[in-house]
Amino acid sequence: MNHNMIRVLVVDDSAIVRELITEVLSASPDISVVGTASDASLAFEAVNVLRPDVLTLDIDMPEIDGLTFLRRLMRQHPMPVVVISSALTEGSDLALEALRLGAVDVVPKPGGPHSIGEIRFRLPERIRAAAVARIKSRTVHGEQAAGKIVYGASVDRGDLIAIGASTGGTEAILEVLRQLPRDSPPIVVVQHIPPLFSARFADRLNEICRMAVREARDGEPLTTGLALIAPGNRHLLVKGSPGRFHACLRDGPPVNYSRPSVDVLFASVAECAGPHAIGVILTGMGSDGAAGLLRMRRAGAYTIAEDKSTCAVFGMPREAIRLNAACVVAPLHNCPSVLMKHLAQNGAIKEERQCKS
């Protein structure tokens, strides 16, 4: 027996889908489907008996729905979960709720020849990413009250913040953006996410964060207090000059197997913003964004990589650190304060006061 095999449990009420997922995953020499389950009750039993490394989960199941199952699973037996469901439709909150509850990734259920081809290509790599993911509490790390910095108005120096993430990134991006002030310098974000979910992801951030957040539109100006999220399946670039940046959306081929690609965004920011930029690379599998962050640093930008201790998957930040692309390595809960302190020190945002204990 190969002890390096990734052991997968497939949970879906459709026998056809269970068979398809099993066939797709079994074609990979490093993945073994150790069992299947047609409902949540059988899935709980299988988890206890088989102890899989990764579980694939449908949302729309009889008796106990997938989200209820996921909530109980994460309390009783936390483990990497990849949601594969036809319920993950455009405008649906189910995908984001699954990620909030602890799922590592969400994948639309195949519904045609093209999507079946996509899942054959993409699903094994999603399983590999999930297998190495750090499953942790979703509680937000609070900063200590004593000495916490409060920031005031942004100074319009033409600064720009670029953020990139992949596996585990939806919650990491939320953690960063929710701590930034209403009038932060403009922010551009690439998160590897399916096309159906990027607009709703932006909407969710807009509901929670102080600044305005929306899905990027081609040609849209980047203004103070605005964060733009790359649409799924389109590259996001920044063009213009400090104080006059605008978003550009492009199709083009995937870069690092990704569209949108963090490297594409970071390279464009390095070119047009140089020392006026801050680059942040967060959790994710692979190396997308590492070379782009190095280009940003060489162009004079201030660059931050998330520390291994808080990454769901320490892939993209690890590669950036290996290339010496990061000026600072910080745990996720410290990234916003590191970012804002840099802006304050460089006169891009006013530091108003220190909180007293």
Active site (catalytic) residues: 166, 192, 288
Four-CA torsion 52, 58, 63, 64, nearest 10 degrees: 60
CA distance 281 to 283: 7
Amino acid found at 96: L
CA 189 to chain centre: 10
DSSP label at residue 29: T
> Residue 135 contacts by C-beta under 8 Å, 6 or more apart in sequence?
74, 78, 79, 80, 102, 104, 312
Residue 73 CB contacts under 8 Å (≥ 6 apart), including other chains: 44, 47, 55, 79, 81, 102
Tokens 């709980």 belong to 44
- For residue 152, give the DSSP letter: E
Tell me the C-alpha to C-alpha distance, in Å, between residue 340 and each of 80, 83, 227, 250: 33, 35, 15, 30
Q: Rounded to whole angstroms, how far apart are CA atoms 158 and 224?
A: 9
Between CA 262 and CA 162 the distance in angstroms is: 9
- Regarding beta strands 302-306 and 105-108, do their DSSP bridges make them parallel or antiparallel, or are they unpaired? unpaired
SS3 category, 266:
helix
CA-closest candidate to residue 351, choices 193, 161, 151? 151
SS (H, E, C) 316-346: HHHHHHHCCCCCEEECHHHHHHHHHHHHHHC
Specify whether the CB–CB gap between 5 and 32 falls below 8 A.
yes
For residues 67 and 44, give the distance between their C-alpha atoms in angstroms, rounded to a whole number.
14
